[in-house]
Amino acid sequence: MKIKIYGLQCQETERVIFNVQSAVMGREDAPIICWINDIEKMKLWIGIIPVLLFDDTMKSCGYVPSTEEIKEWLKEEQHTNEKLSEEIPLL
């Protein structure tokens, strides 16, 4: 999984980064975390930053999600991925 955080260098973005790092700490399947602060790459999000994406699916925008909220999203993603892997037949 890849987690992307779109935001400028500000207190809100730093709190999102910290909460994401706290949520994934100690996980065996730790995702890749990317912070995007390039204005050109943030054109779509500039009015609603910070933005948090899990594999290009928006999880939050315009606010700082708590560590517990992020942990819950991680559990949901893991559960979804496990369910998908169970349903795909091998050829």
pLDDT, tens only, 69-85: 999 999 998 766 655 55
Over range 23-51, report the average pLDDT.
Answer: 88
What is the rounded distance in angstroms from the CA atom of residue 38 to the CA atom of residue 9? 10
Which DSSP category does 56 fall into?
A: T
pTM comes to: 0.83
Least confident of 5-9, 32-36, 76-80: 76-80
Instruction: Report pLDDT for 49.
Output: 87
For 43-53, the pLDDT digits (tens) are: 877 788 899 99
Residues in CB range of 5: below 8 A, 6 or more apart: 13, 16, 17, 20, 33, 34, 35, 36, 50, 51, 52, 53
Mean pLDDT for 31-41 is: 92
* Contact call for residues 50 and 14 (beta carbons, < 8 A): no
